[in-house]
Structure 1
C-alpha cells in the first residue's frame, strides 16, 4: 500500500517537531518545499508556485507552519486555491500563523518590545510577530519579513473562500491553527491523527 504524501510547505531547515508523530507512522511520507535553497528542501520553490510545481490531487495533506504571513495579502487567496488543487478529494491542510488579535492585546498591555515568549530562534516580541523575526531579517534573510496578517475570522473566511468544504480555526499562545478539509475528507480520522500531534479540532468547524 502506497504511503500518504504530506507537503511541508515552507519547511525551513528540518521537519517540524510538532508534526513528527504523524510522519513517524508507517503511513506517511514528507515532501519538503522551501524558497531557500540553503534549507536543503526536496523542492525549491515558493508557496505561490505550488500548482506549477506539483500536479493536481498529488498530496493527502499539507502542513504550512508560519509561512503564509510571508506572502503579500493579494497572494494569499490564490495560494489557498492552489493548496486545494494539489490535495486529493479526501485531503486536508493544516495551517499555522501568528494571531494578530492576541499580539495586539499583548502589545497594548506590555509594549512593542516586551518578550512574549522564547522560541528556538530566540526571544519573540510583538514586533517579531507583526513584522517578522528581527534577527533573521538583520542577518539578511529578508524573505522572513511578514507582509500580511490574520485573525481567526480572516483566516477561516479566506480558506472557505478558496473552496475548502469545512474549516476549523483554533487560537492559542499567539498562534492560529486552521484545519481545512476537502469535501471527501474523513474528518474524525484526520482529527484523531492530528490530536496525537497536539492539535485538538474535535469540536468541529467554526
Structure 2
C-alpha cells in the first residue's frame, strides 16, 4: 500500500494535523484542548480496532500507511503500556518518523512508580481512584482494566510499564529532543518530545 498523502481542502488547509493514535471511538473531548485547540488543529484518528471506525486502521508499531513527516503532532493516551516491552521502541520510532521536523509527540500513560507505592502498602486490589468506568485498583493499572478484559477486550491488557526515568530514556534513545516527562502526582505520566528541525 502506498503511503497516505494528507489531502486538505481550503477550510482545513491552515490547520495543523494531530495523529491521535489508539483513538478509540470518536470523541473530540479525548484531545487535550490546551495542547490541541480546535481552531488550530484537525484530528486524524488511528486505531488497531476497526470497530471504532478510525480514519486509519493500523498498529502503532507499524504506521507505514503514513509517509515520513506527515503530521505536526502525535497524541497517545494510554497506549504504550498495551505493547510488549520490545515493541515500545518500534512504536516510538513510528511516532518520530511520521512527525514533520519540529513536530512533537505528546503522551500519557500509567506511572508505575506511584502504583508500586500502593502495591508496597498491600493495596493491590483496593480502589486507588474512581474513573468514569468505575473503581480503578493498582492491579488494573498494572495489568489492564479487569472488567474490560473479562468482557473479551484483550486490547485493554497491559504488557509493559514506565517510570519518569525509563520513559525519558526511551524517548531520548529514539531521537526526540526537548524531552519532558513528569508525573501528575497521581497515577499518570505525561511526556513530550520533539523531532529535531
Whole-Å separation in 1 of the counterparts to 2:143 and 2:26: 23
**2:53 corresponds to which residue?**
40
Whether the aligned pair in 1 keeps the contact of 2:103 and 2:195 (CA below 8 Å) is yes
Alignment of 1:47-126 (within 5 A): 47-50=60-63, 52-126=64-138
1:176 aligns with 2:189: yes
Distance in 2 of aligned mates of 1:53 and 1:17: 23
TM-score, with structure 2 as normaliser: 0.88
- Partner residue of 1:144? 156
- Kindly tell me the number of residue pairs found equivalent between the two proteins: 183
Give structure 2 stretches of 5+ with no counterpart: 1-12
Contact 2:179 2:192 in 1 (8 A): yes
Query: Residue in 1 aligned with 2:176?
Result: 164
Q: Distance in 2 between matches of 1:18 and 1:33?
A: 13
Q: How many Å apart are 1:21 and its aligned residue?
A: 4.6
Over 3 Å counting, the alpha-carbon distance change for 1:178 and 1:23 in structure 2 is closer
- Contact 2:104 / 2:193 at 8 angstroms: preserved in 1? yes
The separation in 2 between residues aligned to 1:144 and 1:25, in whole angstroms, is 28
Q: Give the number of the structure whose residues are more often helix, by fraction.
A: 1
The answer on whether the counterparts of 1:70 and 1:145 sit within 8 Å (CA) in structure 2 is: yes
- Give the TM-score normalised by structure 1: 0.84
3-state DSSP class of the match of 2:121?
A: helix
Q: Aligned-pair RMSD on alpha carbons?
A: 1.4
Q: Which runs of 5+ in 1 are unaligned?
A: 185-206
